[in-house]
Structures are given as structure tokens and as C-alpha cells.
Amino acid sequence: MISPDGMVARNRWMWFSFVCLAAASALLSPGAMAKDRGSCTPGTTLRLGAPESSQGSLLLIEVKSAKPLAEVQGDWDGRTVPFWRESASETRRKGLLAVDLEKAPGEYDLKVTGQTASGEKISCSARVRVRKGRFATEKLQVGKQFVEPSPEQIKRADEERQKLRDIFDRVTPERLWDGKFRIPLEGVATGSNFGRRRILNGNPGSPHGGVDLPGATGTPVHATQRGRVVLAEELFFAGNTVVVDHGLGIYTLYGHLSEIDAKVGDELAAGAVLGKVGATGRVTGPHLHWGLTVERARVNPLQLVRLLGNSSGAAARQKSSKHRTN
């Protein structure tokens, strides 16, 4: 579920190193080198959490340098890859490559550039293949007003979509999170429906951009990590919704809340209660809709917990119960 294609090892990373082979690169064209092995300037290493990715997935990246690093940036097919420094290590940066749910399968160039503290330029390149995600199709009967909304409702939904897009386009340059990411409901270990193609009353709808977590109305909803509230209001489709900015283009969304317990501008601590589970908006029963956007790419939030989360928590070992979908 979290890693439907099994690309990430359960307990530890499978590292695939792109080691600098300066001598070999002299014999090959840069394109061929990047395609086959990835390439870096001498003294720098690029490692990917898996050799390829799939639609709606996150790939963890690490750049290591022989010298202390001052800055690192990444670009993957025109999208920024956020990098950050963890702990006291001056020679490493971690990054997250996010593949949107609907990104066309294929091979895309990853380019990482940066500078050491002493002013030397570094760079790495690799090709990252995206495979088609395996998503289910679900058929639902919902209220007619949601399938055939009135002109006013269409206008409202369009405005709200644009508002969310504007939020996700803004990248807070500093990392606001600090520590491990968690699932927002206590005692819930997994969720469902990510990427599911929905057929509403016989008409194909847009893919489901988050996971649905089981929970009864009134269950406290916790912020997955530290961040700033950038939206806290009722939306046509998602009902009462809170969006948290974690910095570096990483946003989490919490939908269908019965109650919102946060306001725009609030600085939330990791795990702070931001609302309660409910059934507002387009739903057939109470649950939490949890979404993750990284640099505008819609990805499975459970992967954030798997890659940057606490896998040893008691909650993570519990089995989730059945719940109703939206």
C-alpha cells in the first residue's frame, strides 16, 4: 500500500550509488554516461533511494561531498527538488524527488548543482525512470449536486482549486519541519484509495489525490510535523480543510474535518491537534482525507512517513480498521 511497487526496502534503504567515474566519463558522451550510471564532478556522490520511481511516489536522494557544502539545488524535468541539511553533517544533503500522480511514465533528467563552502562548483546528473502507478478504480454513487454542480458551485470549486494551486506554488525557502513525520491519527497505521480513479455515478472523475484514513467523527487530527497553517476553511469538495506548509514546497492537507481547531498563520508544533475527523464536503462517511504536495506534485503522504518518519512507533504497528471511502 505504502510502496505498491515494492521499490523501497522495508527496513532499510536500498542504496544505488552514482559514483564519480571521471576517467570513464571522458570516454562517453555526457548523455550516455548520465543514462547508464549517473555522473558527478570528482569528490561528489549522488545516491537515490531506488533506481526508479512511479506515479505518485517520493524518491529520497542524498548528495555527499568530500568537502563541506554551502548549497545544493536540484532540478528534475523542470521541477525543483528540495534539498536540506540534516543534523550536523556539513558534507551531506538530503532531497525529495516527487513524481506527480499523473506524470507521464518515461525517463526524465535529474540535475543537481551546488557549491562547496570553499566556492567549488559541484554537479551530478542521472536519469530517473517513472513507471506507471498501480491504482484501483472505484465506482461511487454520490449526491447529484456533486456530479452535476450548479454554475455557482462550479465557480466556487474552480476558485478553490486555484486558491490551492496558488498556495502550493509558493515555496517557503526554509525547512519548517524538524524531526520525523507521522500519520495524523493515533493508532492508524495505513490508509487507502491513493490515486484511485473514481467513476462517480457512471462518470469518470479526477484521481484521488490523497489517502483516506479511518476515524470516527470527533477523533483528533494531528499535524504530521511542524509547520505553518496557510488555509483553514470550508471547501466545496474537501469540506472543512486545513493546509500546513512544512517549508521547501512541502504541504499537507487535512480534509472533511468536523471541526477546525487552527487558523491561518498558526505555527503548529509536530503532532499539534489542528481539527477533528468528520464527514464535511463530498463524502459518504467520516474519515480523514490526507494529502501531500511536494513542489506541486501530488504524492502519497504515507511515503513521507515511510521515508522520513518514525517506523518504530506503536501506532505504526497497529492494523487499520475498515472504513468508508469518499
Q: Which CB sits closer to Zn ion, 59 or 257? A: 257
For residue 277, the tally of other CB atoms under 10 A from its CB is 24
Q: Which CB sits closer to Zn ion, 39 or 326? A: 326
| Sequence-ordered list of residues with C-beta below 8 angstroms from that of 224, at least 6 positions apart, any chain | 181, 182, 183, 184, 244, 246, 252, 270, 290, 301, 304, 305
Q: Which CB sits closer to Zn ion, 62 or 212? A: 212
Q: Which CB sits closer to Zn ion, 9 or 216? A: 216
How far apart are CB 181 and Zn ion at their closest, in Å? 19
Q: How do 267-268 and 220-222 pair as beta strands?
A: unpaired
The residues binding Zn ion (CB under 5 A) are 212, 289, 326
Residue 90 near residue 65, CB atoms below 8 Å: no
> Which residue number is nearest to Zn ion in terms of Cβ?
289
Distance, CA of 235 to CA of 242 (rounded, Å): 10
How far apart are CB 157 and Zn ion at their closest, in Å? 15
| Sequence-ordered list of residues with C-beta below 8 angstroms from that of 241, at least 6 positions apart, any chain | 231, 232, 233, 234, 235, 253, 254, 255, 256, 257, 260, 281
How far apart are CB 317 and Zn ion at their closest, in Å? 24
Concatenated DSSP letters for 119-130?
Answer: S-EEEEEEEEEE
Residue 238 near residue 206, CB atoms below 8 Å: no
How far apart are CB 210 and Zn ion at their closest, in Å? 5
Distance, CA of 99 to CA of 261 (rounded, Å): 31
Q: Which CB sits closer to Zn ion, 17 or 201? A: 201
How far apart are CB 324 and Zn ion at their closest, in Å? 11
Distance, CA of 98 to CA of 57 (rounded, Å): 6
How far apart are CB 289 and Zn ion at their closest, in Å? 3
Q: Which CB sits closer to Zn ion, 109 or 259? A: 259
